[in-house]
Amino acid sequence: MKRAVRANFDASVSAYDAYERRTRRFTALARLLQAEMRQRTDAFDSILDAGAGTGISTRVFADGGARTVALDLSHEMLRQVGESERVQGDFDALPFADRAFDAVAFTASLFLTPEPGAAAREAARVLRPGGVVGAVAPLGWVRADGTDVFADLDRESRSPADVGTVRTALEDTFVVETGVWRFATTAADVRQFHCIPAMAARLYPGLSPDERVEKATDLLAELDGTVEQRWQWVVGVTEA
């Protein structure tokens, strides 16, 4: 599973950046998550960006003034991270000392591991007492009439962990608060999102990156109008 996630993101750099240039969605998610995390801790000087990807979330945290360490499984994604310290690794087994960070953020990454409990426990270990963890996980795409875009569409797979599993993993380890962010978006944006091979893998994991993007584009060809994209956020604190 991890090998597949890594290969999928290694093949996704240019499409990921194209989607971000078009929507700025991951920047928005990192900013919103950072605001929620900051409210719940007295110091936010060092942050582990767990699942940093190409560094979109890393730049948000670094611009906020924190020493930011970008960690990711994917060498190709991580190569795009700019100035910040980079570590290729697995957030289920963090290569850092106990109590090394004020904050750990999983911006659109914790749902990509099949057993998020391990990553939640690792986050707790590397956080100082009173430190804060934050995660954002996708709730999907909803049409104006309230139906899920994918409810009637033929697909072969889902994310490794659903939002409920992510939330429970963090609740088991931290005192958490949660909420939902909603973004009005377009059918064309949904199609562009699924031009990212790692995202199309959610639909057709068995196909090659090109084939799965082509099949996802066909699957979504008829979608039109406005769609709401929903993301669940979860923020937790360790005992001070």
Ligand X SMILES: C[S@@+](CC[C@H](N)C(=O)[O-])C[C@H]1O[C@@H](n2cnc3c(N)ncnc32)[C@H](O)[C@@H]1O
Binding site for ligand X (CB under 6 A): 2, 5, 9, 26, 30, 51-53, 56-57, 71-74, 77, 90-92, 107-109, 112-113
- Name the minimum Å distance from CB 185 to ligand X: 16
Is residue 166 within 8 Å of residue 109, measured between CB atoms? no
CB of 109 to ligand X, least distance (A): 4
Residue 60: both structure tokens together: 């948000």
Other CB atoms within a 10 A radius of the CB of residue 164 amount to 10
Query: Nearer to ligand X by C-beta: 44 or 193?
Result: 193
Bridge partners of 138, per DSSP, are: 231
Is the Cβ of residue 34 or residue 46 nearer to ligand X in the bound state?
A: 34
- Distance, in Å, from the CA atom of 187 to the CA atom of 142, rounded to the nearest integer, reads 11
The distance of closest approach from Cβ of residue 224 to ligand X in the complex, given in angstroms and rounded to an integer, is 25
CB 36, min distance to ligand X, A: 15
Beta carbon nearer to ligand X, 51 or 131: 51
Nearer to ligand X, 59 or 167 (CB): 59
C-alpha 201 chain-centroid distance: 15
Q: Closest CB to ligand X among 47 and 112?
A: 112
Based on C-alpha coordinates, what's the Rg of the chain? 17
Question: Do residues 216 and 194 touch, judged by C-beta distance below 8 A?
Answer: yes
> Minimum CB separation from ligand X for residue 44, in Å?
17
**Shortest distance (Å) from residue 73 CB to ligand X:** 4
Residue among 61 and 204 whose Cβ is closer to ligand X:
61
Task: Return the closest-CA partner of residue 184 out of 53, 28, 60, 35.
Answer: 28
What is the C-alpha separation between 161 and 104, in angstroms, rounded?
19
Comparing C-alpha atoms, which of 118, 107, 239, 96 is closest to residue 174?
A: 239
For ligand X, the closer of residues 72 and 102 by Cβ is 72
- In the complex, least distance from residue 4 CB atom to ligand X, rounded to whole angstroms: 10
Alpha-carbon span 194 to 229, nearest angstrom: 13
Strand partners, 181: 231
φ/ψ of 45, rounded to 5, equals -95, -20
Please identify the residue of the shown chain whose CB is closest to the bound ligand X: 53
